[in-house]
């Protein structure tokens, strides 16, 4: 058993309806603006204070967890108020605090949520020995998988993030559409045909060691293997930020009691997202929803 884990399971199936009305807005010059669909930083939260040794330790711990999980990586849960017992747990909470802080959620507000606030984390690893066709990741929405399977209810995380720990592999592609239709109470309809606006933006993030990417937790995304531009190990640490909901069935880690974990969360420099309008050429990718195709995606 990895030292990143503790034996505790969640069996909660109740849903706080407030999770469906949360808004992602960032304070900017005395006002607030919607969080962009995708943002990126040169280095992950906390790395500025801890230096490159921190990223090296993260990569080593991620590989251990990947070996522990085997062919089917598991997700783990650490409550916002828990004391981290490993480098992965500490990083997951740093990501949680960084993104909830920039979205204006105070420590007091998060504390009031109790067990309904925390970070879900897991590791994605594709070794150099894996065939190219299997080095990607299918298109999907992040959600509470067990809740959807058992009760037909769809709950997305507030923010989804990916931190790359190597420079190799296929890119993460995030689409601004299609998105799931919403019921009157804001709950996504997982079985209904998604909204299909006339156009959408595709955000492409190629692996680069230390790169931290954040995007809306309700956006469709995947890792198309056909866009890979180099072999080698692809290692990524994924952390999802949850408020007003704890995903069911996840193994809990961290230690309860004591003061909430603190520490620096400053990331590296924010990166400008370059925008290009592709009319011809490039690669067409099919997300697998309705008759959607995304044309002109380029591997540079």
SS3 content of the chain, % helix, strand, coil (to 5): 20, 25, 50
Q: What integer pLDDT is reported at residue 157 of this predicted model?
A: 98
Query: What average pLDDT does this structure show over 105-122?
Result: 95
Q: What integer pLDDT is reported at residue 275 of this predicted model?
A: 62
Q: What integer pLDDT is reported at residue 1 of this predicted model?
A: 34
Which pLDDT band holds residue 50 (cuts at 50, 70, 90)? Answer: low
Give tens-digit pLDDT for 191-246: 887 776 667 788 999 999 999 999 999 999 999 998 887 789 999 999 999 999 99
Which tokens belong to 63? 């590989």
Structural domains of the chain, with CATH:
32-297 (2.60.120.620)
Mean pLDDT of the chain: 83
Q: What integer pLDDT is reported at residue 167 of this predicted model?
A: 93
Q: What integer pLDDT is reported at residue 258 of this predicted model?
A: 56
Give CA–CA dist 19/245, Å, rounded: 7
Query: What average pLDDT does this structure show over 38-47?
Result: 90
Which pLDDT band holds residue 107 (cuts at 50, 70, 90)? Answer: very high
> What is the pTM for the complete model shown?
0.86
Which tokens belong to 208? 């680069």
Which pLDDT band holds residue 177 (cuts at 50, 70, 90)? Answer: confident
Give CA–CA dist 202/95, Å, rounded: 24
Whether 6 shows a pLDDT value over 50: the answer reads no
Whether 189 shows a pLDDT value over 70: the answer reads yes
Cβ atoms of residues 187 and 244 within 8 Å = no
Whether 124 shows a pLDDT value over 70: the answer reads yes
Whether 9 shows a pLDDT value over 60: the answer reads no
Q: What integer pLDDT is reported at residue 288 of this predicted model?
A: 59
Give tens-digit pLDDT for 136-162: 888 999 999 999 999 999 999 999 999
Q: What integer pLDDT is reported at residue 280 of this predicted model?
A: 52
Which pLDDT band holds residue 66 (cuts at 50, 70, 90)? Answer: very high
Q: What integer pLDDT is reported at residue 269 of this predicted model?
A: 74
Query: What average pLDDT does this structure show over 174-180?
Result: 89
User: ∠ at Cα 120 (115, 121), nearest 5°?
Assistant: 150
Query: What average pLDDT does this structure show over 11-35?
Result: 81
Q: pLDDT above 90 covers what percent of the chain? A: 52
Give tens-digit pLDDT for 248-294: 999 998 777 655 666 767 787 788 766 665 555 455 566 655 555 66
Contacts of 163 (CB under 8 A, 6+ apart): 44, 58, 91, 95, 210, 211, 212, 213, 236, 237, 238, 239
Q: What integer pLDDT is reported at residue 2 of this predicted model?
A: 41
Whether 187 shows a pLDDT value over 80: the answer reads yes
């Amino acid at each position: 058993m990895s030292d990143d884990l503790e034996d505790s399971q969640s069996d909660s199936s109740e849903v706080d309806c407030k999770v469906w009305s949360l808004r992602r807005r960032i304070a900017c010059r005395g006002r607030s603006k919607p969080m962009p669909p995708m943002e990126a930083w040169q280095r992950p939260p906390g790395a500025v204070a801890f230096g490159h040794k921190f990223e090296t330790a993260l990569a080593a711990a991620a590989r251990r967890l990947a070996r522990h999980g085997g062919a089917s990586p598991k997700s783990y849960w650490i409550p916002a108020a828990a004391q981290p017992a490993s480098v992965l747990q500490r990083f997951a909470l740093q990501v949680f605090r960084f993104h909830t802080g920039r979205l204006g959620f105070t420590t007091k507000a998060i504390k009031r949520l109790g067990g309904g606030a925390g970070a879900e984390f897991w590791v994605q690893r594709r070794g150099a020995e894996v065939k190219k066709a299997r080095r990607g990741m299918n298109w999907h929405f992040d959600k509470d998988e067990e809740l959807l399977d058992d009760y037909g209810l769809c709950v997305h995380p507030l923010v989804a993030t990916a931190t790359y720990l190597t420079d190799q592999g296929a890119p993460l592609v995030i689409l601004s559409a299609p998105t799931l239709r919403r019921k009157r109470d804001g709950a996504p309809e997982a079985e209904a045909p998604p909204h299909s606006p006339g156009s959408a933006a595709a955000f492409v993030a190629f692996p680069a060691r230390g790169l931290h990417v954040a995007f809306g937790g309700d956006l469709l995304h995947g890792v198309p293997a056909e866009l890979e531009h180099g072999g080698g190990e692809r290692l990524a640490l994924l952390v999802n930020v949850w408020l007003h909901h704890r995903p069911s069935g996840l193994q809990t880690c961290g230690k309860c009691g004591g003061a909430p974990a603190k520490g620096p969360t400053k990331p590296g420099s924010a990166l400008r997202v370059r925008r290009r309008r592709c009319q011809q050429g490039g690669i067409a990718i099919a997300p697998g929803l309705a008759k959607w195709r995304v044309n002109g995606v380029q591997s540079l």
